[in-house]
């Protein structure tokens, strides 16, 4: 593989500049426009990526702004090695100390929304394909890079893609962790709708959260009260250990609390500002729906207070985070993101939640089933070998709570791009990816392509 590494090393600086170029496009989902179903910025990101793929000699096609693909080699699409990554990003959120779309390079890191999730890994795949092409590695099957624009909001892009063209049977998505993720938990968004009680604490308004899969790091609420209420709120924050600020406002009090944003698949890594606020409400005498949510969810993240805590030996424990809430004078609406183990029945879980919160109308607007691929498949074993060859690290499979494009394929797994021991920055403020990590990912992906799609009758690169 010396030739592959030489090529990638020669393009290392250009690779980082490509990451910067892609990250500078603020491809948060926006209002639909002609040929841009997820907004003009998402379409710009797709056009930019496809232009780069084409410049490297790959055959490209765009599908009505939903997604695009770039092919290396020829052969059956059904039997192609598919590599799926996404160009859309979650909203910026709070707590940034740098320009979220500045793509600044500081101390060997590239900062910006989407660097690690998922533009940096996508660029690493593109340069791996370029290196395999430039090295003249014979291929026994086509390699197809598929780039989508709606992964963060339900993957409607991949559903559309599968309607208008053929999805390869097998492949991987560089949108999670190493070594190989062959199990993805099931997921469900649980919608709660209840009445806002005016007894005890009267919350006048509150609207927090932008996406169901992003833990909010800041919450603000307007409550009825005076200076004494403001003092009580600050005392509640001290008691609970949460940072709280207050401000008097025309016969009411603004209460603010700061947590730490993060990915809903890893709620214990963040600090949910909605949960903090609910517990403050409880201390201030809240009743009705808000008290019920404080008791049933609060700052917990494993479903214990909802009666749905569970783990299994295959996929680990259930996780949940309440990431969106809207309160007005009449109602309380909230959305919870739950990632549940392979062996848990989704419908039974929902019934348990309804029993625990009978005063709420509870629905499930979106959900997906758990996804599992045997660790004994050629796909998994060859990916593990590629990873081990570069890192020397243990070859093992793991399960995650996150959902990736891997579920779009019959035999799809998540492979990279976060190395063990690295800080998870997806969906967080000051998101970054190290330049070294991007480069090492490209080395691993090139080896994976050769192992899974290379013609093994040729030994010139061994």
CATH number at residue 439: 3.40.630.10
Catalytic positions, written as ranges: 88, 151
Work out how many domains the chain is built from and give that number.
Answer: 2
Query: Please, are residues 175 and 151 in contact by the beta-carbon 8 Å criterion?
Result: yes
Place of tokens 């919608």: 191
Q: Are residues 409 and 327 in the same domain?
A: no
Distance CA 411, CA 168 (A): 9
* CB neighbour list of residue 296: distance below 8 Å, 6 or more residues apart: 305, 306, 356, 357
pLDDT at 94 over 90: no
Percent of the chain with pLDDT over 90: 90
Q: Are residues 135 and 273 in the same domain?
A: no
Q: Are residues 393 and 309 in the same domain?
A: no
What's the confidence (pLDDT) of residue 402?
A: 76
Q: Are residues 345 and 257 in the same domain?
A: yes
H or E element, residue 158? helix 156-164
Place of tokens 């590695």: 137
> How confident is the model over 181-187, as a mean pLDDT?
94
Place of tokens 């243990």: 394
DSSP bridge pairs for 33: 36
H or E element, residue 240? helix 227-240
Q: Are residues 199 and 50 in the same domain?
A: no
What's the confidence (pLDDT) of residue 353?
A: 97
Specify if 195 maps to a domain. Answer: yes
pLDDT at 263 over 90: no
pLDDT in tens, 336-386: 999 999 999 999 999 999 999 999 999 999 998 999 999 999 999 999 999
Q: Are residues 207 and 300 in the same domain?
A: yes
∠ CA(232), CA(234), CA(240), 5° rounding?
100
pLDDT at 45 over 90: yes
Q: Are residues 376 and 444 in the same domain?
A: yes
pLDDT at 26 over 90: yes
Specify if 461 maps to a domain. Answer: no
Mean pLDDT of all residues belonging to the chain: 95
> How confident is the model over 291-318, as a mean pLDDT?
94
Q: Are residues 156 and 17 in the same domain?
A: yes
Distance CA 439, CA 418 (A): 12
Specify if 460 maps to a domain. Answer: no
Distance CA 333, CA 303 (A): 19
> How confident is the model over 171-181, as a mean pLDDT?
97
CATH number at residue 238: 3.30.70.360
Q: Are residues 148 and 160 in the same domain?
A: yes
Distance CA 84, CA 101 (A): 23
| Residues spanned by the domain of 218 | 186-368
Half-sphere exposure of 310 (CA within 13 A, CB side): 20
Q: Are residues 324 and 206 in the same domain?
A: yes
Domain boundary among 368, 384, 418: 368
DSSP bridge pairs for 433: 110
Length of the chain measured in residues: 462
Specify if 120 maps to a domain. Answer: yes
User: CA nearest 147: which of 227, 261, 63, 271?
Assistant: 63
Domain boundary among 368, 384, 417: 368
Query: Please, are residues 260 and 167 in contact by the beta-carbon 8 Å criterion?
Result: no
Domain boundary among 346, 368, 390: 368
Q: Are residues 174 and 217 in the same domain?
A: no
Specify if 26 maps to a domain. Answer: yes
Long-range contacts of 349-356 (CB under 8 A, 24+ apart): 349/188, 349/308, 350/188, 350/190, 352/306, 352/307, 352/308, 353/190, 353/306, 353/307, 353/308, 355/307, 356/296, 356/305, 356/306, 356/307
Specify if 459 maps to a domain. Answer: no
Q: Are residues 359 and 376 in the same domain?
A: no
Q: Is 27 exposed, middle or buried (0-12, 13-18, 19+ CB in 10 A)?
A: buried
Distance CA 248, CA 237 (A): 17
Dihedral sign (CA 437, 341, 394, 130): negative
When computed from its CA atoms, the radius of gyration of the chain, rounded to whole angstroms, is: 23
User: CA nearest 147: which of 113, 108, 121, 111?
Assistant: 121
Query: Please, are residues 23 and 114 in contact by the beta-carbon 8 Å criterion?
Result: yes
pLDDT at 229 over 60: yes
Specify if 92 maps to a domain. Answer: yes
Q: Is 462 exposed, middle or buried (0-12, 13-18, 19+ CB in 10 A)?
A: exposed
Specify if 34 maps to a domain. Answer: yes
């Amino acid at each position: 593989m010396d030739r592959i590494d030489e090529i990638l090393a020669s393009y290392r600086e250009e690779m980082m500049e490509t990451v910067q170029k892609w990250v500078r496009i603020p491809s948060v989902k926006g209002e639909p426009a002609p040929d841009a179903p997820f907004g003009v910025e998402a379409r710009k990101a797709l056009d930019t990526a496809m232009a780069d793929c084409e410049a490297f000699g790959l055959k490209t096609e765009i599908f009505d702004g939903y997604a695009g693909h770039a092919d290396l080699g020829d052969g059956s699409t059904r039997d192609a090695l598919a590599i799926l990554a996404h160009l859309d990003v979650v909203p910026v959120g709070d707590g940034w100390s740098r320009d979220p779309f500045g793509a600044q390079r500081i101390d060997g890191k590239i900062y910006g929304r989407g660097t690690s999730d998922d533009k940096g890994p996508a660029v690493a795949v593109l340069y791996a394909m370029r290196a395999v092409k430039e090295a003249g590695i014979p291929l026994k099957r086509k390699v197809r890079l598929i780039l989508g624009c709606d992964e963060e909001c339900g993957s409607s892009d991949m559903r559309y893609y599968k309607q208008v063209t053929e999805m390869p049977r097998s492949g991987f998505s560089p949108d999670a962790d190493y070594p190989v993720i062959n199990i993805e938990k099931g997921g469900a968004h649980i919608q709660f709708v209840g009445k806002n009680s005016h007894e005890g604490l009267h919350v006048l308004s509150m609207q927090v959260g932008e996406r169901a899969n992003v833990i909010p790091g800041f919450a603000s609420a307007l409550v009825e009260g005076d200076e004494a209420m403001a003092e009580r709120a600050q005392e509640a924050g001290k008691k609970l250990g949460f940072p709280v600020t207050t401000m008097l406002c025309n016969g009411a009090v603004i209460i603010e609390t700061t947590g730490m944003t993060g990915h809903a698949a890893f709620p214990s890594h963040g600090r949910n500002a909605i949960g903090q606020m609910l517990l403050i409400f409880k201390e201030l005498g809240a009743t009705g729906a808000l008290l019920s949510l404080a008791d049933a969810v609060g700052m917990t993240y494993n479903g214990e207070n909802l009666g749905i805590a569970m783990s299994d030996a295959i996929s680990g424990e259930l996780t949940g985070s309440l990431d969106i809430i809207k309160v007005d004078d009449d109602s309380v609406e909230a959305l919870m993101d739950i990632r549940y183990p392979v062996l848990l029945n989704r419908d039974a879980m929902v019934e348990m939640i309804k029993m625990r919160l009978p005063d709420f109308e509870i629905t499930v607007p979106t959900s997906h089933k758990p996804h599992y691929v045997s660790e004994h498949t050629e796909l998994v074993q060859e990916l593990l070998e590629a990873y081990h060859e570069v890192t020397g690290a243990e070859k093992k499979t793991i399960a995650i709570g996150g959902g990736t494009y891997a579920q779009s394929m019959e035999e799809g797994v998540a492979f990279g791009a976060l190395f063990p021991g690295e800080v998870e920055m997806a969906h967080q403020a000051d998101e970054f990816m190290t330049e070294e990590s991007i480069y090492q990912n490209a080395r691993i992906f090139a080896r994976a392509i050769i192992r899974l799609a290379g013609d093994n009758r040729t030994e010139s690169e061994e």
